[in-house]
Amino acid sequence: MDERALDPEDVVAFRIAANDVVGLSRRGIEEAREVFPELIAAMEGHGPVPSFNFQAPDYTGQTGAEEVEPGHFQVTGFDGGQEAWHLVVFAHMVRVYAWSGDDRFERQLTILNEPGGLDLGDISTQDLWDAIFMNARVSRFGDGPLENQSNGMTYVSNEVLRRVTSAIERGARIDLTVD
C-alpha cells in the first residue's frame, strides 16, 4: 500500500456539495499540478474554472514484451498516450485507500464497465473517484490493464471533473497548507 495511506496529514477535504465531501491527497494534488495547473489553481481559488474534458485513450497495441523465461513472454504494457496518463494523474488526486481489500471492489468494476447504464447521480463523488483510483492501481500492479475500462474510466472521470468544476463555480476551495 502507498505510504500516503498511513499519513493522515496527506488527506484534505474538498466539499462538492452539502452532503458530498471527497478526501483528496495533498501529494496527489501537487503531482497533478504539473498536468492540470489551471484546475489546481481554480481549486485553490487562484484562477478561473478551466473548461476541458478527458478523452478516451487510444490503445493502439503493445509497447513491448519481455521474455521472463525461455519461451514465455510478459506484455510490458500498452501505450494509451497522453490521454491515459491524464486519467491516471487525475485518479491519483484522491486520497489513498486499501482498494485491494475494499468491499466496494465489485461495485467499482460495475461503475467502470457500465457507467452509461447507471445513474451516477446516486453515487457519491468519493465512490466515483475511488473507482477510477482503483482502476489505475489495478492497472499498475498488473491485475488488469487500464485499457479494459478506459471508456468507463473516461466517462466517470468526466463526471467527477464536472462535479469538481461545478463546486468551484459555487465557491468551493481547497486549502493545501499544513499546520
The pLDDT tens digits for 135-174 are 888 766 554 545 567 788 899 999 999 999 999 999 999 9
Q: Does the residue 174 lie in any domain?
A: no
What is residue 127's predicted lDDT score, i.e. its pLDDT?
93
Dist. CA 60–CA 81, nearest whole Å: 9
In a domain, 33, yes or no: yes
Would you say residue 108 lies in a domain?
Answer: yes
pLDDT at 73: 52
**How is residue 94 annotated by DSSP?**
B
Is residue 176 one of the residues assigned to a domain? no
Number of domains in the chain: 1
Looking at per-residue pLDDT, the higher value among 16 and 70 belongs to 16
Q: Does some domain include residue 179?
A: no
Nearest-10 Cα torsion for 93, 98, 99, 103: -130
- Residue-wise pLDDT tens digits, 90-123: 999 999 887 777 888 888 888 888 777 788 888 9
Average pLDDT, the chain: 82
CB 11 within 8 A of CB 83: no
Distance between CA 80 and CA 99 in Å, rounded? 23
Contact yes or no for 73/66 (Cβ under 8 A): yes
Distance CA 129, CA 108 (A): 10
User: Does residue 87 belong to any structural domain of this protein?
Assistant: yes
Residue 51, number of CB atoms within 10 A of its CB: 7
What's the pLDDT at 6? 53
Query: CB neighbours (10 Å) of residue 165?
Result: 18
| 177 is a domain residue | no
Residue burial 84-105, b: 16+ Cβ < 10 Å; e: rest: bebbbbbbbbbbbbebeeeeee
Q: Is residue 55 a part of any domain in this protein? A: yes
Give residue 72's domain range. Answer: 3-169
**DSSP type of residue 120:** G
